[in-house]
Amino acid sequence: MTEKIHIRDESVAEARNGSRMAMALIYNQYSKQMFGICMRMLGRKDDAEDVLQEAFITAFTKLGQLDDDRTFGGWLRKIVINNCIQYSKKRLHWEEISPDEEPDNNEEEEWLSHINLETVYEAIKSLPNGYRQVFNLFAVEGFSHKKIAELLGITESTSKSQYHKAKKQLKEQLLKKK
């Protein structure tokens, strides 16, 4: 059994003052969880590792901007998500849709509750980039389609369409594995 590392209350303050040991402790505490976010959003290990590294560099560089050290985890999560979005924006090309192509979002989602979470995450990673980005931001991170549209520079209807297509593809993939 692996021992869980606990960040002492003063670790963020020590890291702000340049302590490499405190930074290493923080990295060890958060890197696995943040890497999971990167993998879900980017789908490729190499890309996820690059973005994760940049996110920690950004976080440690901007620690002075953090008002409350106790909120470090949420603050880091935002940095990671924003870095994933920026990384993807350089590589994604969105196909805009017309409002009459908007999907109906009243479908039952019960089928998903009976599938192993690890299987779902693997299926998410295999989605096309645009689908994966929107699916993660909406379903996993809880952003609204309006916010996703702002973040990704797309229309709200495109966000909804990408999400609908991602759900459809996920459902097809996961029901085949049952």
What is the pLDDT at residue 19?
92
What is the pLDDT at residue 98?
53
pLDDT band at 47 (very low <50, low <70, confident <90, very high): very high
pLDDT band at 3 (very low <50, low <70, confident <90, very high): very low
What is the pLDDT at residue 67?
87
**Cα gap 47→92, rounded to integer Å:** 14
Buried b (16+ CB within 10 A) or exposed e, 138-154: bbbbebebeebbebbeb
**Cα gap 85→13, rounded to integer Å:** 28
Torsion of CA 28, 34, 39, 45, to 10 degrees: -30
- The answer to whether residue 30 scores a pLDDT higher than 90 is yes
Does domain 99-177 bear CATH number 1.10.10.10? yes
Complete DSSP assignment for 29-98: HHHHHHHHHHHHHH--HHHHHHHHHHHHHHHHHTGGG-S-GGGHHHHHHHHHHHHHHHHHHTT-------
| Mean of per-residue pLDDT scores for the chain | 82
What is the pLDDT at residue 171?
86
**Cα gap 155→4, rounded to integer Å:** 42
What is the pLDDT at residue 176?
77
pLDDT single digits (tens) 106-140: 444 555 556 666 777 788 888 888 888 899 899 88
For the chain, the structural domain boundaries read: 11-89, 99-177
Q: Specify whether the backbone of 27 is left (phi greater than 0), alpha (psi in -120 to 50) or beta.
A: alpha
Report, as an integer, the average pLDDT of 57-72.
92
Q: Which amino acid is at 45?
A: K
Torsion of CA 3, 84, 151, 130, to 10 degrees: -110
**Cα gap 6→126, rounded to integer Å:** 33
The third-level CATH classification (topology) of the domain covering 11-89 is Rna Polymerase Sigma Factor; Chain: A (1.10.1740)
Report, as an integer, the average pLDDT of 50-70.
93
- The answer to whether residue 10 scores a pLDDT higher than 70 is yes
